[in-house]
């Protein structure tokens, strides 16, 4: 009898005599499938693409499940925000150009923030209108009341300011949003990343490396992590 026949016979014997072994072969190890936790990411139309996509994939790479939510459960238009580097007529403010699209799996009103270990608020023009959504403000307040890790980038400061959760904090954001931080009762500083309690803030996508490094450290050190 050749070696292949012996191998097949051995496998058939294991299948017949050891059902538990089949489950081990068929299913990946629990450590490979268990999520490190669920991270909530609110978006809207004109969410900045780079601000959003880098943390979206970085968190998944680290084993977290990122749940994207919006005013409604639908697809949203992301944009690119940048001051044109070489324009015949200089821009004083960012130019907005079409970007990718991203699907929100749930509406803000249906979110139970207790189910999530962290919150990431990205930038772009979306926060200008998202900050009026009372369900999003309710969600945002939960993360501060529960002292869960929160990451806020660029224009995202408008949402946490509107939620009334940054009084007395030191934060950073894109310089043109410094007033939003100050009106929310925070101290604004112009530096790449600031950590204050459960909150890490950054100016823009150029600061992603120190921003996400600080946020990942915060998540890893939370109770029960």
pLDDT higher at 169 or 34: 169
The mean pLDDT of 107-113, rounded to a whole number, is 98
Express each pLDDT in 135-179 by its tens digit. Answer: 999 999 999 999 999 999 999 999 999 999 999 999 999 999 999
- Domains along the sequence of the chain with CATH: 1-34 (no CATH), 35-220 (3.40.50.880)
Q: What is the mean pLDDT of residues 52-72?
A: 97
Interior angle at CA 202, CA 54 and CA 104, nearest 5: 40
The confidence score (pLDDT) of residue 2 equals: 47
Angle between helices 3-17 and 19-26 (to 10 degrees): 110
Write down the pLDDT at residue 34. Answer: 66
Can you spell out the DSSP letters for 140-155? HHHHHHTT--EEEEGG
In this prediction the pTM is 0.82
What value does the mean pLDDT take over residues 193-212? 97
């Amino acid at each position: 009898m050749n070696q292949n026949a012996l191998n097949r016979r051995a496998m058939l014997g294991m299948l017949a005599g050891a059902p538990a072994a089949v489950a081990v072969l068929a299913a990946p190890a629990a450590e490979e499938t268990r999520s490190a936790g669920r991270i909530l990411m609110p978006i809207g139309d004109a969410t900045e693409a780079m601000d959003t996509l880098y943390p979206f994939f970085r968190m998944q790479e680290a084993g977290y499940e990122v749940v994207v939510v919006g005013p409604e459960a639908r697809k949203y238009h992301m944009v690119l925000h940048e001051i044109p580097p070489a324009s015949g007529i200089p821009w004083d403010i960012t130019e907005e150009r079409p970007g990718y699209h991203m699907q929100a799996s749930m509406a803000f009103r249906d979110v139970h923030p207790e189910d999530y270990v962290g919150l990431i608020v990205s930038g772009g023009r979306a926060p200008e209108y998202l900050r009026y959504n009372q369900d999003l403000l309710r969600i945002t307040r939960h993360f501060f009341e529960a002292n869960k890790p929160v990451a806020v980038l660029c224009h995202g400061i408008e949402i946490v300011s509107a939620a009334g959760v940054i009084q007395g904090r030191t934060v950073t954001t894109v310089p043109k949003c410094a007033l939003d931080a100050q009106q929310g009762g925070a101290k604004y500083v112009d530096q790449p990343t600031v950590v204050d309690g459960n909150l890490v803030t950054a100016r823009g996508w150029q600061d992603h490396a120190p921003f996400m490094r600080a946020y990942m450290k915060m998540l890893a050190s939370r109770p029960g992590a």
